[in-house]
Amino acid sequence: MGLRHRPAREHHMSRRRQTLSIIALVAALVLGLAPAASATVPSEEQWRADVRQAMAGGRAYLTERAADDRPGDGRLALNLDIDNSMLATEYDTGKAIAVVRRFTRHARSLGMAVLVNTARIVDKRAHTLVALRAAGYRIDGLCMREAGVRVAAGKQRCRREFVRDGYTLVANVGNRETDFLGGNYERAFRLPNYDNQLT
């Protein structure tokens, strides 16, 4: 009797194992996708705290660098990205990031230039200048990306042009890896972007 019923039980157990395997696979896929679907940027308060931490010591550094006259120095200058670096594009559109604006004002008080290096394309130039002025920034140069040019390539081209124009870039402020690829600057101030969730 036991021998006659064993194949049925084995078939039932095999079907059950298949069902459980499918359920486990679906659960794994759902769990695997859940973090991406539910990922959110931190609160504005947390972001501002992280920005302040990234810029900590910045003004003291500028003061020291201004006093350190090095052979070959041109006019000392900052190189700054705009979105979520100078302007709070994600959290408070159009408003200045206060700690960065103070950084630029301190640089100008030391005789340094404020140069803007953005991935925004050139046809946004007039709008960008208005936005920066409205946010309280005074700048000495604005370099923008040509349409169709990769962001990293555009950023590096702008820095090369600034150096060719006689500037020494003592600080580079940005929030994405493309802001820092290549050289032609001395110190990086890396603002948060939370795994590229901010522009």
Distance CA 110, CA 104 (A): 10
Torsions phi, psi of 190, nearest 5? -95, 105
pLDDT, mean of residues 54-65 = 99
pLDDT digits (tens, 9 = 90+) for 69-114: 999 999 999 999 999 999 999 999 889 999 999 999 999 999 999 9
pLDDT digits (tens, 9 = 90+) for 173-192: 999 999 999 999 999 999 99
Exposure string over 164-178, b if 16+ CB within 10 A, otherwise e = eeebbbbbbbbbbeb
